[in-house]
Amino acid sequence: MNAKTKNIVFDWNSTLLDDIHALHECTNKLLESEGHKPMTIDFFRAHYTIPFDQLYRNMGFDETQIEKLMSLENSAFHDHYEPMANEAGLREGAMDILSYASKQGVQNVILSNHLTGPIRTQLRRLDIEYLFAEVLAYASRALQFKDMTKGERLRRFMAERAARPGHTMIVGDSVEEIQIAREQGLISVAITGGCVSEERLLAEKPDHLIHSLHELKPIMEQRGFMS
């Protein structure tokens, strides 16, 4: 990557991979295993926060309950989630926009709170690994949310490659990506239909709000992400 290269940084879960129902269902499995009521998808989207300890805190759980749920999060959640992820496809328009960006000389990057190994497994399953310059995620369950933050991981990646903030767009389904963009001077694109409600995304004032990845192409054209 050089300073003139344009970059699109994609969140993975529920942004490119259509796994929102798997995430919702697996979270409910954890809650039910501890005797808690399951959440509706609307409640999930209204309260979703990363890391999940803050989600559980927002739901009113005490610290003892949160500690137990986070312990399960690091084990049982992944054990339930990964088989379901193996059945998930890409969100509509993902393949088209990734291929289009690549043909325009734009570098596609994944920035995720998930684990590098499982993401690359899914990229190979879906036959799209070749479309990405890098996968920025956690190396293991033991390091998840204990290593550097998602924003810091991206900051270091860009500094190492002398990437220009104005040449970098970040696309995600949560408020986290919008906040990272604001802190680092990036172009923010929020996509609905993922883990966070449209109302919460709008409240964070992203540069662009889309409902489908197909809508990303005119934004690329508008922002000069063309060869």
pLDDT at 76: 67
In the structure, what pLDDT confidence band is assigned to residue 36 with cuts at 50, 70 and 90? confident
The structure tokens listed for 91 are 């969100």
Spatial contact of 11 and 111, defined as CB atoms under 8 Å apart: yes
pLDDT at 198: 98
Neighbours of 140 (CB within 10 A): 11
Average pLDDT over residues 10-38: 92
In the structure, what pLDDT confidence band is assigned to residue 74 with cuts at 50, 70 and 90? low
Greater pLDDT, 29 or 93: 93
In the structure, what pLDDT confidence band is assigned to residue 103 with cuts at 50, 70 and 90? very high
- The predicted model scores a pTM of 0.92
Distances from the Cα of 36 to the Cα of 57, 67, 71, angstroms: 14, 14, 16
Distances from the Cα of 18 to the Cα of 29, 94, 172, 213, 217, angstroms: 19, 10, 13, 12, 19
Helices in 59-149 by DSSP H: which ranges? 63-72, 78-85, 94-103, 116-125
Taking only the tens place, the pLDDT of each residue in 159-182 is: 998 888 999 999 999 999 999 999
Strands (E), the chain: 7-10, 107-115, 132-138, 168-172, 187-191, 208-210
> Does 227 have pLDDT greater than 80?
no
pLDDT at 1: 47
Neighbours of 21 (CB within 10 A): 12
Distance from C-alpha of 176 to C-alpha of 164, rounded to nearest angstrom: 20
Of all residues in the chain, the percent with pLDDT exceeding 90 is: 69
- Determine phi and psi for 113, rounding to 5 degrees: -90, 0
pLDDT at 152: 94
> Does 192 have pLDDT greater than 80?
yes
Distance from C-alpha of 34 to C-alpha of 110, rounded to nearest angstrom: 33
pLDDT at 143: 62
pLDDT at 145: 61
Spatial contact of 46 and 36, defined as CB atoms under 8 Å apart: no
